[in-house]
Structure 1
Amino acid sequence: MSRLRLQKLLSAAGVCSRRRAEELMLQGRILVNGVRAKPGDQADPAIDRIEINGKPLPAKASCCTLLLHKPRGVHSTCHDPMGRPTVLDLLPPDLARGQGLHPVGRLDAFSHGALLLSNDGEITLSLTHPRFNHPKRYLVWVEGNPSPQVLERWSKGVPLDGIASRAVFVALKEHGRRRSLVEIEIKEGRHRQIRRTAELLGHPVLDLQRLSVGPVQLGDLEPGAWRWLSESETTALAKLLNPPEPDYEQSEKPKRFRGQS
């Protein structure tokens, strides 16, 4: 086996996400041949001794991915230092701790809906890296009644932290004087992107539900419940591992704005 960056190696082994691997290295909890590893280091598990928290790197578990309906108040992480409930707490103990599952991306604690958990690092990368252009769809209740001009501005992408945002799909589903329901589809996933954008536009989010991640739909799955992916969903995800080269010029064009439906 050729040498790989430790972040990728640990992710592929189902130990943790690449970001979590970097955190563990910075904490000095990963050793390679008895030496503390640092982000960017490479190793070959066939010839190198890799230890995590004093234990050898486990053999790669069988790849598995499931869909969870994350309820409000649950955190999209494997461990919370403050002892707050996490998504792994919603799974059977043998599944939560024995398969190396980790959240594919994040859904903040105040939001609810579709969240994938997987021990397949390649699926995680494909669904979370913006260059793959995989959509995530939401239903969002916001304060007030966004005007057509506001929705048009939203659809073109509102800059955050001085950095341009990609165009998004926005459709007004219901509206009233105090709140309105908006359907949104994004292909980025920047930190609290929808909530921050809505706040900037003067219509703070009241409730946010994710309906789908890529080809996987939440459907009628109850809050707190989970299910294995169907054969068709598994096939669709497998195709994501070898995507065509993205057409950035085409992908950046805003979709045609739709008003009230």
Structure 2
Amino acid sequence: MEARLQKILAQWGIASRREAEEMIRDSRVQINGILAHLGQKVDPEKDAIAVDGKPLSKKHRPALIYLLLHKPAGVVSTCYDPHHRPTVLDLLPKELREGSGIHPVGRLDADSTGALILTNDGELTFGLTHPRHSISKTYHVLVKGHPPEAVLHKWRQGVMLEGRKTRAAKVHLIERCAEQSFLEIVLQEGRNRQIRRIAQQLGYPVIKLHRTAIGSIQLQTSKEPFLDEGKYRSLKDDEIQFLQKQLKKNSEVRIQESESISRGSKSPTD
């Protein structure tokens, strides 16, 4: 059955769908010996697909991998860094890094620490990093100063960033120190450096930012020992099922939105 090339590469665990699109743009993918183009449809049962000159076969698709990593500060959430900084893949053993297509799901900026999911399930990555996704992410954040309740309330209601208001968030004061405050923040969106930018805008810059959980997937649970910085573990079956349920939910929401837009664009009939 024909499907878009980037979707097949994602399904086979070669890369996330966005990364697959970049590979196609960079002339790294060939179909039947000819350079592929973005949006091209192929039939993996009939067409010969090659990446970086190496033929691919569905039977060689690597097993799906789902990991939870405790990202340290100073490590970038990408597969490759042109500035030669350490990446999250450098924290994995060679047998996981090479040939598996594993990649991070979303990002934590280099200065932040905490929970990050790694997988080679490209379809899952595409669905969970879609702008409309709604998986909550929990952060423990140390900020300068003592933001009053009015400021925390404003943060909860949403703040304008680059002309667009952020979604409502949960912002809870955990503790006030001498010149700092410790907050717990739960977001259901992931705009670039969102917490840091909002905190700066409100006048209480971030000192430290740590992600403790992605939905129900936590760095520390009653059943699991604490995951040290730089270490990883495989996701449990129920954690993988949680992600897959979120993927299905997000897909259904996008379909409903698309159908709603389609109905709205139709002219009324007599």
TM-score over 0.5 for the pair: yes
Decide whether the 8 Å contact of 1:174 with 1:180 is kept in 2. Answer: yes
| CA-to-aligned-CA distance 1:22-74 (integer Å, 9 cap, x gap) | 22222211222233223322222111222211112353211120101010011
2:143, 2:196 → 1: CA distance? 9
1:74, 1:132 → 2: CA distance? 25
Cα offset, 1:177, TM superposition: 4.6
TM (normalized to structure 2)? Answer: 0.85
Other-structure match for 1:233 = 239
SS at match of 1:236: helix
2:37, 2:158 → 1: CA distance? 36
Other-structure match for 1:23 = 22
Please provide the CA RMSD for this pair: 1.9
Cα offset, 1:151, TM superposition: 0.7
The 5 A counterparts of 1:91-240 are: 91-219=92-220, 220-240=226-246
Q: Which amino acid aligns with 1:40?
A: G
Cα offset, 1:19, TM superposition: 1.7
Larger Rg: 2
1:198, 1:44 → 2: CA distance? 49
1:12 paired with 2:11, answer yes
1:218, 1:139 → 2: CA distance? 12
| Bigger shift: residues 49-58 or 181-190 | 49-58
1:44, 1:178 → 2: CA distance? 61
1:132, 1:22 → 2: CA distance? 20
Other-structure match for 1:60 = 61
| CA-to-aligned-CA distance 1:80-122 (integer Å, 9 cap, x gap) | 2222111111111001213221101111110000000001123
SS at match of 1:140: strand
SS at match of 2:27: coil
| Bigger shift: residues 239-248 or 27-36 | 239-248
SS at match of 1:149: helix
TM (normalized to structure 1)? Answer: 0.88
1:98, 1:47 → 2: CA distance? 23
1:144, 1:50 → 2: CA distance? 56
SS at match of 1:131: coil
SS at match of 1:95: helix
Cα offset, 1:236, TM superposition: 2.1
Unaligned runs of 5+ in 1: 249-261
Aligned length: 247
| Bigger shift: residues 209-218 or 168-177 | 168-177
Decide whether the 8 Å contact of 1:132 with 1:246 is kept in 2. Answer: no
SS at match of 2:98: helix
The 5 A counterparts of 1:9-88 are: 9-58=8-57, 59-88=60-89
| CA-to-aligned-CA distance 1:121-170 (integer Å, 9 cap, x gap) | 23213322242311111001111111111111111111211122111111
Would you identify which runs of 4 or more consecutive aligned residues in structure 1 move more than 6 Å? none
2:253, 2:154 → 1: CA distance? 25
